[in-house]
Amino acid sequence: MPFRDDFLWGGATAANQYEGAWDTDGKGASVPDHCTNGSHKTPKRVTPEFEEGTLYPSREATDFYHHYKEDIALAAEMGFRVFRMSINWTRIFPTGMEEEPNEAGLKFYDNVFDELKKYGIEPLVTISHYELPYALVEKYNGWYGRELVEFYVRYCRAIFERYKDKVKYWLTFNEINAGTTPMGTVLSLGTIKGFNGPVTQAPDEPAVRFQALHHQFLASAKVIKIAHEEYPQFKMGNMSIFATKYPYTCNPADVLECQKQMRIMNWFCSDVQARGYYPTYMNRFFKEKGIEIKKEPGDDEILKQGTIDFYTFSYYMSSCESTDPEITGKAGGNIIGGVPNPYLKASDWGWQIDPKGLHYSLNEIWDRYQLPMMVVENGLGAYDKLEEDGSVHDGYRIDYLRQHIEEMREAVEDGVDLMGYTPWGWIDVVSASTGEMAKRYGFVYVDKYDDGTGDLSRRRKDSFFWFKKVIESNGEDLD
C-alpha cells in the first residue's frame, strides 16, 4: 500500500467562504465580508462601506454555521479522517483588538469540534485563512502594522487554550506566500486601508507587502513557539501555495529565470518558516526592488524559535517562465501569472491542469525540508449541472482528482513522507478569487447561486460516491 494506514483523507474549507452568519452572535466584519461578488471576467470589489443592494457572498456563503451537523454527517459518510477548516478571527475577536474573546464565537467551534469527534474525524485548523478583521485594515493598514503580531498572538492564545484537548493540527496562515505577489494584497495582507474598488486595482507597493509578510512570519513563529512550549501535543504547520514553475525552454537563461521565480514565489516563505531565517537569495531581490525590511532587535531570534513541524500546501496548477519577450507577452493564463505550458490543458478559469507537477513538487519539497507533508488543497473549479433528479454528473472532477492522487502515489513510492490529502471545497463554497458560486469544487452540491438565490440544500455529486470508495480503499481503488 503506498499510502500510510493512518493517511489523513478528508476535505478543506475556509470559514469566510463557507460559514456565513457574518454578523451572528457577535461576529465582526472581516475583509471578505467587505468584498462583493465578481466573475472570471469582472473582478470582485472591496467596499469600505456596505452598499445597499450589492451582494457580498461571504456573508451567507454556504451557511456551515447553521448546517454544520448535516455537513459533518456527509463528511463522515464519505469516510473523512480529517476535516480542514478555519476559525473566523472575527468570531472570536470581532475587531481583532478586544481584550477578551467572544464566548458565543468560541462556543460555535466547540460544537463543531465535538461533532467531528462524534465521528472520529480529526480537525485540521487554519488559524487565519483570508479572514482578517476589517477593523485592523482601517486602523493599521492590515499586516503592515506591526501591532497585528500581538493581536494575532492574543487570538491564538485564546483558541489554543480553549481547544487544546480538541485540536492537534494547526496551520498558522493560509497561503502565506500569496503576499509575495500583488494578488495577496487584499485577502492575505489586508494592506488596503481606505481602498475602494476592484481587487485587481488594489494599490501594490512591494515594500509594504514584504514588510507585512515579515510581520506574518513573526506572528507565525511566536505562536509556534508558544505551542511547542505550552502545548506539546500540537503539530504546527505552514501553508503555502505551491505554484510549480518550469523553464519554458532548456535555454539556460530560461532555467535561471525559472529558478529565480521559484525562489521568490514558492520557496521564500517556507524557507523562513521551515528553517527559521531569511534565505540569502532574497538580499539581492530586496536590493533590486529597493526594499528594506524593518526588523526590531530579537526578530531573527523569534524566527529561529518558531519553525514548523510539518509542511502543507495548496496545489492547483503550474506555469512556465521565459526570458524571450515574444513568449512572455503571452503570459497571464493562470492567476499566478507565468507563460501557459503548451503541453497542458486549462480549466474553464484558465488554471492549467498538471497532475505530474504535483508529483514533481512533492519530490522537490521533500528534498528541501525532509518534513512530513500534506496536500491541503487541490481540485477542479468547474461549472456543474444539477439534473432534475438532483444528481450532478461531475466525471471531469473525478478525472482531475484521480490523476492527482495517482501522482501523489508516485511521489510516495519515491520516498516522500505524505501525511494526508484534503481536496479543496469538498462541499461547494464561494470562490476566493472571483466571489462566484458558479465555480464549484465540491463532492457535495449546495443549492446557492450567483444572484444570491438558492435554498442551501445539499446533494451528493457523482464524485461523492467515488471519493468514498477512494478513502475506503486507502487510495487503491481510483476507478
Q: Is 133 in the site for ligand BG6 (CB under 6 A)?
A: no
Q: Is 432 in the site for ligand BG6 (CB under 6 A)?
A: yes
Q: Are strands 458-460 and 444-446 parallel, antiparallel or unpaired?
A: antiparallel
Give me the least distance between CB of 431 and ligand BG6, in Å please. 4
Residue located via cell numbers 435554498? 455
Give me the least distance between CB of 382 and ligand BG6, in Å please. 10
Encoded amino acid at 64, one letter: F
Helix (H) or strand (E) holding 44, with range, is none
Q: Is 314 in the site for ligand BG6 (CB under 6 A)?
A: yes
Looking at beta carbons only, is 30 or 174 nearer to ligand BG6? 174
Residue range at the interface with ligand BG6 (CB under 6 A); choices 28-36, 115-123, 410-418, 424-432: 424-432
Q: Which of 62, 172, 174, 185 binds ligand BG6 (CB under 6 A)?
A: 174
* Residues contacting ligand BG6: total by CB under 6 A: 14
- 196 Cβ partners below 8 Å, 6+ apart? 45, 46, 47, 48
CA–CA distance, 231 with 145 (Å, rounded to integer): 28
Is the dihedral angle over the CA atoms 74, 468, 471, 361 positive or is it negative?
negative
CA–CA distance, 217 with 269 (Å, rounded to integer): 8
Q: Pull the grid cell for residue 272.
A: 523562513
Residues 9-28 contacting ligand BG6, CB under 6 A = 14, 17
Give me the least distance between CB of 373 and ligand BG6, in Å please. 17
User: If DSSP codes are grouped into helix, strand and coil, which group holds residue 115?
Assistant: helix
Q: Pull the grid cell for residue 365.
A: 519539497
Q: Which of 357, 381, 423, 475 binds ligand BG6 (CB under 6 A)?
A: 381
Residues 71-130 contacting ligand BG6, CB under 6 A = 130
Looking at beta carbons only, is 140 or 426 nearer to ligand BG6? 426
Q: What is the DSSP letter of 187?
A: I
Helix (H) or strand (E) holding 11, with range, is strand 8-12
Residue located via cell numbers 500534506? 374
Residue of minimal Cβ distance to ligand BG6: 433
- Judge contact between 56 and 33, C-beta under 8 A: yes
Residues 217-256 contacting ligand BG6, CB under 6 A = none
Residue range at the interface with ligand BG6 (CB under 6 A); choices 33-41, 209-217, 297-305, 427-435: 427-435
Give me the least distance between CB of 20 and ligand BG6, in Å please. 15
Looking at beta carbons only, is 102 or 312 nearer to ligand BG6? 312
Q: Is 357 in the site for ligand BG6 (CB under 6 A)?
A: no
Is-catalytic flag, 51?
Answer: no
CA–CA distance, 143 with 187 (Å, rounded to integer): 11
Looking at beta carbons only, is 174 or 216 nearer to ligand BG6? 174
Angle, in degrees to the nearest 10, between helices 268-275 and 206-230: 30
Q: Are strands 235-237 and 169-171 parallel, antiparallel or unpaired?
A: parallel
Q: Is 175 in the site for ligand BG6 (CB under 6 A)?
A: yes
Q: What CA dihedral angle connects 369, 377, 91 and 96, to 10 degrees? A: 40
Give me the least distance between CB of 344 and ligand BG6, in Å please. 18
Looking at beta carbons only, is 29 or 199 nearer to ligand BG6? 199
Looking at beta carbons only, is 408 or 412 nearer to ligand BG6? 408
Q: Are strands 244-247 and 318-321 parallel, antiparallel or unpaired?
A: parallel
Q: Is 131 in the site for ligand BG6 (CB under 6 A)?
A: no
Residue range at the interface with ligand BG6 (CB under 6 A); choices 212-220, 272-280, 300-308, 433-441: 433-441
Active-site choice (19, 122, 131, 175) = 175
- Judge contact between 191 and 209, C-beta under 8 A: yes
Active-site choice (122, 131, 377, 410) = 377
CA–CA distance, 235 with 269 (Å, rounded to integer): 19
Is-catalytic flag, 19?
Answer: no
Residue range at the interface with ligand BG6 (CB under 6 A); choices 89-97, 133-141, 336-344, 432-440: 432-440
Give me the least distance between CB of 245 and ligand BG6, in Å please. 17
Q: Is 377 in the site for ligand BG6 (CB under 6 A)?
A: yes
Exposure b/e, 293-310, CB count within 10 A at least 16 = b: eeeeeebeebbeebbbbb
Is the dihedral angle over the CA atoms 283, 285, 288, 289 positive or is it negative?
negative
- 297 Cβ partners below 8 Å, 6+ apart? none
Q: Which of 439, 440, 460, 461 binds ligand BG6 (CB under 6 A)?
A: 439
Kindly report the number of other CB atoms within 10 A of residue 245's CB atom.
Answer: 24
- Judge contact between 149 and 173, C-beta under 8 A: no
Give me the least distance between CB of 442 and ligand BG6, in Å please. 11
Give me the least distance between CB of 174 and ligand BG6, in Å please. 5
Residue range at the interface with ligand BG6 (CB under 6 A); choices 132-140, 217-225, 366-374, 429-437: 429-437
Give me the least distance between CB of 88 and ligand BG6, in Å please. 13
Catalytic positions, please? 175, 377
Give residues in contact with ligand BG6 (CB under 6 A).
14, 17, 130, 174-175, 314, 377, 381, 424, 431-434, 439
